[in-house]
Structure 1
Amino acid sequence: MENVVLIIHLLLALGLIAVVLLQRSEGGGLGMGSGGGGGAISGRAAATALSKLTWLLAIAFICTSITLTIMAAQKSAGSSVADRIGVPQSEEGEAPAAPAAPLGSDLLPPSEGDNAPLVPSAD
């Protein structure tokens, strides 16, 4: 069910993008290009078919967003990321032993007595 709602959500997002891009630009950004005749400043915006469709798609998009959030919350109710780690325990219920620390000799470069030198000599 979650996948169906997610696919509808994605289709609504693509439809909303397409409808917004199809609308005529009114040039109302920062008050430039209004031309003085109507537009967003007039107080009565014309309710065109595209603006109604935009509102419809936006409301449906928000509804699917809320639905997906509720589904995800129900799916993860009572669980935590720490619960999913699954720390292995020994037979007697004791905590597992810490891994052995590397020896000091493992961290040092090879000595001259070891195989071939890393840097050839300039003799």
Structure 2
Amino acid sequence: MQSVLIVIHILIVVALIAVVLLQRSEGGVLGAGGGSSSFMTGRGQANALSRATAILGTLFFVTSILMSIIAGWSKTPHSILMRGPVAPASQQAPQPVVPANILDQLKQLQGQSNAPAAPAAPAPGQKP
């Protein structure tokens, strides 16, 4: 459900960006590079773009709120009082030492591969 809502949200965002960029600018300096286009002229198209912007903006907020609600459902409340007792440190199994970074891991691997192999024991009946 959440992945479907994310896809719908992304489609709304892309459509909202496209509709906002299609609108004619009415500002001073920002509209200087606008140019005129015969594609979107007249009051009817401007009203349609304004209405589409309002609808897409509303859908954007609705999907954002729905995603936050769905994300909140997956969280389970927990209490520190409901946890079981913690075992003492002496009873816990020792944790293996993990190298801190990739260089330490490479040195450890190189040390394992360069280690001399132990000589094989002679088979019974053979002279050493």
TM-score, normalising length from structure 1? 0.51
Compared CA separation, residues 71 and 28, structure 1 to 2 (3 A)? farther
- 1:22 matched residue in structure 2: 22
2:58 maps to amino acid: I
Which residue of 84, 88, 95 corresponds with 1:94?
88
Aligned partners of 1:5, 1:19: CA distance in 2, in Å? 21
Structure 1, residues 30-77: CA drift from partner, whole Å, max 9, x if none? xx99xxxxxxxxxxxxx7000000000000000000000000011113
Aligned partners of 1:66, 1:28: CA distance in 2, in Å? 35
Aligned partners of 2:70, 2:64: CA distance in 1, in Å? 10
- 1:9 matched residue in structure 2: 9
Aligned partners of 1:13, 1:79: CA distance in 2, in Å? 35
Which is richer in helix?
A: 2
Aligned partners of 1:76, 1:51: CA distance in 2, in Å? 38
TM-score, normalising length from structure 2? 0.49
Q: Which segments of 5 or more consecutive residues in structure 2 lack a partner in the other structure?
A: 33-45, 80-85, 96-128
Compared CA separation, residues 27 and 7, structure 1 to 2 (3 A)? same
Compared CA separation, residues 70 and 53, structure 1 to 2 (3 A)? same
Compared CA separation, residues 23 and 3, structure 1 to 2 (3 A)? same
Report which stretch shifted further, 70-79 or 60-69: 70-79
User: Identity percentage over the alignment?
Assistant: 45
- 1:66 matched residue in structure 2: 65
Aligned partners of 2:9, 2:78: CA distance in 1, in Å? 26
The alignment partner of 2:77 has SS state of coil
**RMSD value over aligned CA atoms?**
2.9
Structure 1, residues 72-112: CA drift from partner, whole Å, max 9, x if none? 011113269xxxxxxxx7xxx2234787xxxxxxxxxxxxx
- 1:121 matched residue in structure 2: none
For these two proteins, the number of residue pairs brought into alignment is 74
1:25 maps to amino acid: S
